[in-house]
Every structure is written in C-alpha cells, then in structure tokens.
Amino acid sequence: MTGEIIKSIEVIPLKVKLIEPFIISLGKLEYADNVVVKITTQNGIIGFGECSPFRSIHGETAETCLAVGKIISENFIGKDALKIEELVSLMDKIIFGNTSIKSAFDISLYDIASQHSKVPLYEFLGGKNDKVIHTDYTVSIDTPEKMTSDAKKILNAGFPVIKVKLGGTAEQDIFRMKSIRAAVGNEIPIRIDANQGWSKEDAIYILSELKSLNIQHCEEPILKHSFLDLPEIKNASAIPIMADESCCDHLDAARLIKIKACDLFNIKLGKSGGIFKAMKILRLAEENNIGVQIGGFLESRLGFTASAHLALSSPAAKFFDFDTPLMFEEDPIKGGIRYGERGLVTLPVGTGLGAYL
C-alpha cells in the first residue's frame, strides 16, 4: 500500500451530560468527559477516534488526554498513518500507560487505513458483518428500590439482557439482586459487575448466594491487583468470572490464562490502548476457548462504533455492552452505529469507521 502521510491532527474535548448519574463502586459520573482525535492525511483522508478516560481506572482525565494528545500529535505529524504497528510502538515509547488517549489515536489510524483500503473497518480487521449484536442495558448502584425500578424499565423496554452494577457489602448486594430478580422474573439473563468492590471472601460468599438467580457472568469481583486470587474465586463459583480491570492488554490476558484465573475477558479499547492490542487479546481468547465481551466506558456512538467493528472481527466476541450512548442527553455524532428494538445494534454502511464528529 502507498502511504497516507499525516498532515494535521486535532484533539477535541467532547463533554456530554448524562440523563441520570452513572454510579459504580468506583464513583459517580454525571457527564461523559471524552476526547476525540481527528487525523487528516495529505491525501485528504480523515480518521476519527474517541476515548472516555476514567480517573479511577485509567489514571487519566480529559485534561491529561488533551496534554498527552498534544505530545503524541507532535510526534505523528509527517508519519505514515498506515504503519499502525510502528505508531502504536511509538506512542508506548513516548509515554508509559495513558491507554485511553492512545486508544483514540489508534482508532483514528484504523479509520484511515480501512478507508484507504476502501473497505469497512470490520473487513479490514478480517471480519464479516454476519453477527447479530444486541446490547445489554445497565442498572447503576443505588437503593434496592431504585435499582429494582430501573431493572423493570429495562425489561419493559425489551432489552435482552440486564447488567447490574454492584460492589457494596455482601448483605446489600445479595438483597439488591434478589429484589431485582423477583421483580423481573427468572427468564431474562442478568450480568453483574462488582468493579473490584468485593474482598475474596465476600466474592465467594456472594456468588454462592446468587447462583440460583440466572446470572450470566460476574465482572471483576475483586481488586485488579489481587488477580492471583481469581483462580480460587473461579473454582468456587457456579457463576462464570469475567476479567475486566485486571485484563487491559494482551500481556495481562496471557498472565490470566496462565494461572486459569477467569472464564471470560472484557475487552475495552480504552483499556487496551486501541484496536491493535485488542486484536491480540482476541487471538489469545480464540486459542484458549475464552469467551469475550466487548464493552467500553462512556464513549459516544463514535467510540462504540469502533467497538462494534471489533466485535465482528472474532468469533470469540459473544457478549456486547454498548449501552452508554443511550444514556446521553444529546447525541453529537454523525454516522456510526444505530440502536433499534431490543437493543439491536447496526453498523454504518461504507468504508472505514463510518462515524465522525
């Protein structure tokens, strides 16, 4: 392929108010405080990417993303956007960590490369648009009454899966889940996410108490740095364990596989640093028969469009957590994925990412 030399880069703040506060065990959010990266090549191709930094997960904010984005931009000008592996390596040489802002640059590079190849991004990644994608919808942590009411609204709206945020005391979380299950009936699957909120002992106890409630899986039950305790929890639990915060990139995934720590991975582009390393996790998952959920943070439809393309690139991607754009008061994105009945997600037609600001 002939090159696509980077001519200019814009790093753009994107702040959108949420309809209701989004509350997890790590804190409360009232805004999606995101950053969009727009890269233009000398041939006129424009690539877009987006990140949604979480202070408690990434150690990044919109302000740090803008600052680091400026440094990355200065080093990208004049480079060939099609040499993605080299540019991902360059970002890691420029600065450690900062996976959120790196993911926005990575996505924009893949947007350019797939437009250059005149194919949709999923096809550029080796995938086909042959998978039906339905998103779940999430219940934030709150009083049992509020959480139960929200779960009933999700059921009545026709979403095929309810996701519930937990991470309180054992007594609180067991009561929350029993109240929700009683209200929505036994048929609709429920996913739970403790966001590192439990101790090992509480995780084993809570999961044993919830085993009859048709729980599809449990995300990140304990502190991410305590991942060596995950095998014990996994072996004791009838509910499949999904690694989230403890599985950022392919190196984390390989460690978790080696110790048989979990049944499932949750891939988020903002954790992996973008598509390049997320694809490495998917290959490991395929080789080791590990199911994958593709999720995200509080990205808009721009960021989740990239996630949807990624989901079509691998048979390991079986679960989809694409609901946060539905929580926005306004939608600033053009093109991109669309939401239909029962949380059905459809991708844009055309080349590249297909979403822009």
Distances (CA, A) of 4 to 8, 102, 103, 117, 123: 12, 19, 19, 11, 19
Task: Calculate mean pLDDT across residues 318-340.
Answer: 97
Q: What is the pLDDT of residues 267-326, one digit of tens each?
A: 999 999 999 999 999 999 999 999 999 999 999 999 999 999 999 999 999 999 999 999
CA distance 12 to 62: 10
Residue 244 annotated as catalytic: yes
- Is 1's pLDDT higher than 70? no
Residue 111 annotated as catalytic: no
Q: What is the pLDDT of residues 101-115, one digit of tens each?
A: 999 999 999 999 999
Residue 70 annotated as catalytic: no
Q: Which domains does the chain have, with CATH numbers?
A: 6-118 (3.30.390.10), 123-356 (3.20.20.120)
pLDDT of residue 56: 85
251-255 contacts at long range (C-beta below 8 A, 24 or more positions apart): 253/280, 253/281, 253/284, 253/285, 254/284, 255/227
Catalytic residue among 193, 202, 321, 323: 193
Give 57's contacts (C-beta < 8 A, 6+ positions apart): 26, 245, 271, 297
CA distance 333 to 305: 10
Task: Calculate mean pLDDT across residues 223-235.
Answer: 97
Q: What is the pLDDT of residues 15-59, one digit of tens each?
A: 999 999 888 877 788 999 999 999 999 999 999 999 999 998 889
Catalytic residue among 165, 234, 271, 277: 165
Residue 193 annotated as catalytic: yes
168 C-beta neighbours (distance < 10 Å), count: 18
CA distance 269 to 57: 13
Catalytic residue among 50, 80, 111, 219: 219
Task: Work out the pLDDT band at 243, boundaries 50, 70, 90.
Answer: very high
Catalytic residue among 38, 268, 271, 277: 268
15-20 contacts at long range (C-beta below 8 A, 24 or more positions apart): 15/62, 16/300, 16/328, 16/329, 16/330, 16/332, 17/328, 17/329, 17/330, 18/298, 18/327, 18/328, 18/329, 19/327, 19/328, 19/329, 20/140, 20/327
Catalytic residue among 60, 173, 244, 245: 244
